[in-house]
């Protein structure tokens, strides 16, 4: 246990004369003198129904669970604040975006989408990135994801999308995984999904940390200024630590080594005072430019390349406090894209419009009452006054006899606010047309942006995308689904399709005129929407490639130091000091737990011993010298595996003196010219290599290392 926590517990125990409010009581406040034994008639006799203490304890326990979120069930939250750099009053009257003197409290919840509450953190999935701003004008929720686009264009299709990705209903398999038939059946028949889907195949879907992901509001929103003028706006979160991911091989291994990898990482960083930070960016588009793009601004499957409209960074968010109680805060928090403050407004994006209905509706079944806004984590910081009353679990005791408007008996309260006094008014957009059920033609280009994304990736990223598709389609069992996907990939990029086809052992079909496709043609996009010629409004966009979104900051980077008794203590102490100065985290790993003794006879606490830990939980490895230590490690099969795996995952490896003999027992001996394999180099060189996160140049060969 960490020393800070141990001290806290000691403090509690010091106080033997606990005040009444710390004594165990029933929910009615009655002190309890036994919580281990039920009331029974004689020592070995039957339990008695009158035992109200037992009944209360069990009844409460029986009802402890609430329905988990239908999507985004697995999540982790943190508190923090938002600060604005410069007033955006030209665009918006929202005071969090005009008042630079404010520190607005926030609560953020990161999540995966498909898995249940207890599923693993490293599933290949989109991540939710939901921010609740507790502004002085009320709650503003920016309920976004870590990818800038969504799978579908219209809310009507959301249940179909989610049903297809969730475990197949006959046997509830697979958990938190998109690699199965029903998902690819849907994707391959719904071409609008292909853009978000290619992001899902990329490393963005397996982040190294929540702290190293971008966030996006996705939809085009509106900013409205004091004069009532509107601008379109897209929201972006840019992480201070850059965008970093793990490889799929690591993700699979992290599933077993630490299923709570992201949750733990967020918690530990905040506990250690390494507060996660993002800058809030906006892309602002004047109303007059609405139709200037080759795609529709209302289409949530399209992004606006940053090269076309730059992202202006307007403020920063810092997460500096862990929740005190997971259920009360992270589980009960209720986000809603319709929680807005004056100065921010919606557009007619049909996905956004549908969401505006869904989020309150889902809270009613999940939290059980329209009073969910009274749960502490959901309460605005300003006062709430209205004529709503009663319902399950009402916490507010409303006084007086009037609960209607207008009234004179209650002094006319609560009063309305004029727009100039901060009353919300919707942007008066002109709407004119017939009631129809159809999709605008301007939403029909489903291939240009997936192609732009693929073109924009560096070679190593492309390889990961190819392998992502091959893995996922390789898990599908119906050949016609794989063929449909291959045909669609061919429309995105020929090299991509060929490489995936090669791994699947299939030929790319020449057309989609397959009997099964004909049979379902009437119900699916695929036959109706023969892809139009792809547009090429931009050759590549650097903002789409992780290569260009890195950061040199090694704060919270986790370095494993592999040692055994007799290791070179001076080497270790110097490295640790320099790494910790840069807020990196160091873990001493040894063949056994407890203490480890260096060549100078100093003792150190072991952080993890080899059989309890795995290389995939660290970002880099260092092996100090020391004859005796190296001899011991050479006989440890797990030490050899640890090194080989670190190498395979393209991480930095450093050693000095006798450490080289250990590395020579591993595949490292074949990679001695590699720029992130550092033998007898000074510590600064090690730190520099670390700041690159991975040496992807190694991957082509290293991927074949048999671990």
Please report, as ranges, the residues that interact with ligand HDE according to CB under 6 A.
69-72, 75, 109, 111, 128, 130, 143-145, 150, 155, 158, 218, 300, 333-335, 351, 354-355, 358-359, 362
Question: Least distance to ligand HDE from the beta carbon of 511, Å?
Answer: 32
The CB-nearest residue to ligand HDE is 128
Nearest CB to ligand HDE, comparing residues 143 and 656? 143
Nearest to 293 by CA among 147, 436, 432, 452: 452
Question: Least distance to ligand HDE from the beta carbon of 148, Å?
Answer: 9
Nearest CB to ligand HDE, comparing residues 154 and 607? 154
Nearest CB to ligand HDE, comparing residues 218 and 650? 218
Exposed, middle or buried by CB within 10 Å (0-12, 13-18, 19+), for 224? buried
Nearest to 677 by CA among 646, 707, 703: 646
| Strand duo 595-597 + 603-605: pairing | antiparallel
Question: Least distance to ligand HDE from the beta carbon of 346, Å?
Answer: 13
Pick the catalytic residue: 79, 145, 339, 693? Answer: 145
Question: Least distance to ligand HDE from the beta carbon of 467, Å?
Answer: 26
- 130 in Cβ contact with 142 (< 8 Å): yes
72 is catalytic: yes
**End-to-end CA gap in the chain:** 32
Nearest CB to ligand HDE, comparing residues 108 and 496? 108
List of residues 6+ apart from 124 with CB closer than 8 A: 177, 178, 179, 200, 205, 206, 248, 251, 468, 472
599 is catalytic: no
Nearest CB to ligand HDE, comparing residues 109 and 231? 109
Question: Least distance to ligand HDE from the beta carbon of 379, Å?
Answer: 16
Give CA–CA dist 668/302, Å, rounded.
44
Distances (CA, A) of 109 to 203, 331, 515, 550: 21, 9, 45, 23
Helix (H, G, I), strand (E, B) or coil at 209: coil
Question: Least distance to ligand HDE from the beta carbon of 343, Å?
Answer: 20
Give the DSSP H/E element, type plus range, for residue 652: strand 652-655
Query: Residue 104 has which token pair?
Result: 């607005």
Nearest CB to ligand HDE, comparing residues 119 and 145? 145
**Strand ranges for 124-251 from DSSP E:** 127-135, 138-145, 215-216, 221-224, 230-239
Question: Least distance to ligand HDE from the beta carbon of 217, Å?
Answer: 6
How far does Cα 524 stand from its chain's mean position?
31
Q: Give the CA diameter of the chain.
A: 90
Alpha helices in 325-442 (DSSP H): 326, 350-366
Nearest CB to ligand HDE, comparing residues 349 and 699? 349
Question: Least distance to ligand HDE from the beta carbon of 108, Å?
Answer: 9
**Strand ranges for 16-98 from DSSP E:** 75-84
Give CA–CA dist 556/32, Å, rounded.
45
Exposure pattern of 120-138 as b/e (b: 16+ CB <10 Å)? bbbbbbbbbbbbbbbbebb
Pick the catalytic residue: 33, 37, 72, 649? Answer: 72
The count of C-alpha atoms lying within 13 angstroms of the C-alpha of 550, restricted to the half-sphere facing its C-beta, is 13
Give CA–CA dist 180/638, Å, rounded.
33
Q: Which residues are catalytic?
A: 72, 145
């Amino acid at each position: 246990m960490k020393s800070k926590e141990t001290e806290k517990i000691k403090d509690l125990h010091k106080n033997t004369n606990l005040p009444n409010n710390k004594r165990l009581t029933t929910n009615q406040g009655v002190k309890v003198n036994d919580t281990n034994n039920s009331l029974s008639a004689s020592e070995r006799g039957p339990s008695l129904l009158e035992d109200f203490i037992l009944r209360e304890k069990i009844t409460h326990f029986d009802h402890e669970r609430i329905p988990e979120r239908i999507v985004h069930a697995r999540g982790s939250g943190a508190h923090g604040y938002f600060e604005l750099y410069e007033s955006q009053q030209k665009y918006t009257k929202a005071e969090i975006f005009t008042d630079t003197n404010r520190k607005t409290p926030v609560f953020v919840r990161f999540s995966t989408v498909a898995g249940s509450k207890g599923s693993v953190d490293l599933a290949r999935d989109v991540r939710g990135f939901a921010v609740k701003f507790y502004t002085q004008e009320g709650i503003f929720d920016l309920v976004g994801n870590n990818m800038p686009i969504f799978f579908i264009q219209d809310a009507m299709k959301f249940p179909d999308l989610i049903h297809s990705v969730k475990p197949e209903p006959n046997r509830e398999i697979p958990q938190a995984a998109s690699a199965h038939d029903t998902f690819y059946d849907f994707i391959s028949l719904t071409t609008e999904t292909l853009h978000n889907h290619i992001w899902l195949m990329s490393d963005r879907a397996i982040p190294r940390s929540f702290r190293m992901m971008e966030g996006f509001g996705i939809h085009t929103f509106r900013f409205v200024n004091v004069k009532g003028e509107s601008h379109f706006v897209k929201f972006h979160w840019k992480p201070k630590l850059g965008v970093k991911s793990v490889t799929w091989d690591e993700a699979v291994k992290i599933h077993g080594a630490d299923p709570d990898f992201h949750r733990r990482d967020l918690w530990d960083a905040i506990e250690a005072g390494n507060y996660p930070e993002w800058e809030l960016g906006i892309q602002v588009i004047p109303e007059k430019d609405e139709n200037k793009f080759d795609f529709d601004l209302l289409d949530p499957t399209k992004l606006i390349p940053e090269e076309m409209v730059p992202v202006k960074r307007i403020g920063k968010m810092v997460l500096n406090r862990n929740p005190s109680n997971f259920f009360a805060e992270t589980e009960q928090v209720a986000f809603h894209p319709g929680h807005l403050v004056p100065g921010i407004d919606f557009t007619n994006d049909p996905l956004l419009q549908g969401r505006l209905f869904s989020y309150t509706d889902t809270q009613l079944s999940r939290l059980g009452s329209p009073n969910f806004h009274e749960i502490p984590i959901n309460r605005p910081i300003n006062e709430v006054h209205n004529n709503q009353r009663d319902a399950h679990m009402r916490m507010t005791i409303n006084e007086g006899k009037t609960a209607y408007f207008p009234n004179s008996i209650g002094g006319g309260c609560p009063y309305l606010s004029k727009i100039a006094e901060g009353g919300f008014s919707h942007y008066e957009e002109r709407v004119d047309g017939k009631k129809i059920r159809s999709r605008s033609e301007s939403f029909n280009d489903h291939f240009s942006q997936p192609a732009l994304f693929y073109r924009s990736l560096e070679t190593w990223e492309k390889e990961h995308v190819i392998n992502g598709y091959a893995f996922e389609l390789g898990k599908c069992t119906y050949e016609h689904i794989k063929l449909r996907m291959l045909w669609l990939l061919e429309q995105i990029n020929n090299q991509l399709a060929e490489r995936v086809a090669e791994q699947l052992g299939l030929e790319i079909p020449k057309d989609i005129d397959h009997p099964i496709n004909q049979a379902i043609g009437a119900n699916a996009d695929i036959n109706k929407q023969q892809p139009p010629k792809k547009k090429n409004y931009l050759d590549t966009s650097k903002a789409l490639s992780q290569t260009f979104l890195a950061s040199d900051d090694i704060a919270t980077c986790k370095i494993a130091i592999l040692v055994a008794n007799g290791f070179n203590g001076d080497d270790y102490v110097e490295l640790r000091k320099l790494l910790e100065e840069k807020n990196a985290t160091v873990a001493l790993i040894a063949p056994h737990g407890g203490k480890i003794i260096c060549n100078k006879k100093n003792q150190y606490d072991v952080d993890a011993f080899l059989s309890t830990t795995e290389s995939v939980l660290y970002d880099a490895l260092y092996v100090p010298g020391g004859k005796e230590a190296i001899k011991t490690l050479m006989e440890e099969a797990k030490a050899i595996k640890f090194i080989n795996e670190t190498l395979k995952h393209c991480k930095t490896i450093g050693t000095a003196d006798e450490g080289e003999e250990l590395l020579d027992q591993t595949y490292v001996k074949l990679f001695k010219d590699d720029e992130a394999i550092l033998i007898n180099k000074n510590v600064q060189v090690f730190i520099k290599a670390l700041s690159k996160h991975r040496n992807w140049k190694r991957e082509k060969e290293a991927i074949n290392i048999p671990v």
